[in-house]
């Protein structure tokens, strides 16, 4: 793992090629003042092509959000220029306020303040269902 350019921070590796900007936006990396590098279409032995994001600051990352977007991402924590911890993600049991229920008959379609929440109904098929109306998120 190449952690060049990161002294104390995080390297998000094995991002599905093309997904890095979505993650950049959702994690609000534009709000950071530290250096952030987005590498697109890097060559990966495992997946052919991948994206990488390097963040030179130990920020709090919502691993559930990241796991929902792409459970294959690995989170590498870097301390003093060295890889200190590698974390693998998985699909979260519950995702809160990331996706919205699209069922027009759902209560969330008429009450704006309700927090959109989904539970993992089938891990293999990656099916999430609205906790209110049970509609599958597509």
Partner 1 sequence: MNDVRCVINITDLSVEELDKLMDLADDIIADPVKYSEKCKGKKLATLFFEPSTRTRLSFESAMMELGGNVLGFSTADSSSAAKGESVSDTIRTVGCYADIIAMRHPKEGAPTVASLKTTVPIINAGDGGHYHPTQTLTDLLTIRRERGAIGDFTIGLCGDLQFGRTVHSLIYALLRYENIKYVLISPDELRVPDYVRDELNEAGVEWKEVERMEDVMPELDILYMTRVQRERFFNEEDYIRLKDSYILDMDKLKTAKSDLSILHPLPRVNEISVTVDDDPRACYFRQVLNGKYIRMALILTLLGLGQKGEDR
> Does the CA dihedral 103-104-105-106 come out positive or negative?
positive
Residue 52, strand partner residues: 39
Shortest reach from residue 107's CB to partner 1, in Å: 4
101 binds Zn ion (CB under 5 A): yes
114 binds, among Zn ion, partner 1, none (CB under 5 to 8 A by kind): partner 1
d(CA 47, CA 42): 10
**26 belongs to the binding site for Zn ion (CB under 5 A):** no
Interface residue with Zn ion among 8, 16, 72, 103 (CB under 5 A) is 103
Shortest CB 66 distance to Zn ion, Å = 24
Per-residue interface string for the shown chain with partner 1, residues 83-112, x marking contact by CB under 8 A: --------------------x-xxxxxxx-
Q: Between vectors from CA 105 to CA 103 and to CA 110, what angle results, nearest 5°? A: 95
Are 126 and 118 in contact by the 8 Å Cβ rule? The answer is no
109 interface partner picked from partner 1, Zn ion, none, CB below 5 to 8 A per type: partner 1
* Of the residues 5, 17, 121, 132, which one makes contact with Zn ion according to CB under 5 A: 132
Nearer to Zn ion, 53 or 130 (CB): 130
d(CA 133, CA 138): 14
3 Ramachandran zone, left/alpha/beta (phi>0; psi -120 to 50) = alpha
The correct pick among 52, 70, 106, 137 for binding Zn ion (CB under 5 A) is: 106
């Amino acid at each position: 793992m190449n952690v060049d350019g990161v002294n104390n921070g995080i390297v998000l590796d094995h991002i599905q090629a093309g997904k890095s900007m979505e993650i950049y936006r959702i994690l609000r990396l534009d709000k950071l003042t530290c250096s952030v590098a987005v590498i697109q279409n890097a060559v990966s032995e495992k997946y052919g092509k991948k994206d990488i994001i390097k963040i030179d600051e130990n920020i709090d990352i919502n691993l559930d959000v990241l796991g929902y977007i792409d459970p294959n991402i690995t989170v590498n924590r870097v301390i003093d220029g060295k890889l200190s911890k590698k974390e693998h993600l998985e699909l979260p049991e519950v995702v809160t306020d990331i996706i919205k229920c699209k069922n027009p008959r759902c209560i969330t379609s008429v009450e704006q303040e309700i927090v959109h929440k989904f539970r993992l109904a089938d891990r293999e098929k990656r099916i999430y269902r609205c906790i209110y109306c049970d509609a599958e998120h597509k």
